[in-house]
Amino acid sequence: MRPSFSILGQESGEDVSCASVLKVLADETRLAVVEQLLEGPKTVSAINESLGVESTLLSHHLKALRDARLVTRKREGRYASYALAPALLVRCKGRAIDLGCCTLSFS
């Protein structure tokens, strides 16, 4: 029996395995984006300024996080802002996120 992170798959009716969530978060840039979003929603330019990665690479990582339903995107005219997905926000405790199978802690 695989541990699942069912709260993230709730909207589509599918369970998301812990392994698939951890695979997405295994990339340092994606993990840094999640850490940035613990502070609240941010525009792509604010994330980019903070992390200093190439914009096309950042877009790729944001799409991977969106596809995994870890972040949400909100369009604001020409700009887009990102936030942690509501299902992930309810699992946040300070600077830590309970994934069900483990806890990610940012220090």
- pLDDT confidence band for 87 (50 / 70 / 90): confident
Predicted local distance difference test score (pLDDT) of residue 12: 52
- pLDDT confidence band for 18 (50 / 70 / 90): confident
Predicted local distance difference test score (pLDDT) of residue 15: 60
Dihedrals phi, psi of 93, to nearest 5 degrees: -135, 95
Over range 81-107, report the average pLDDT: 88
Where do the domains of the chain lie? 28-95
- pLDDT confidence band for 17 (50 / 70 / 90): confident
Alpha carbon separation from 53 to 48, 95, 103 (Å, rounded) = 6, 23, 26
Predicted local distance difference test score (pLDDT) of residue 99: 83
**pTM recorded for the entire structure:** 0.83
Topology classification of domain 28-95: Arc Repressor Mutant, subunit A (1.10.10)
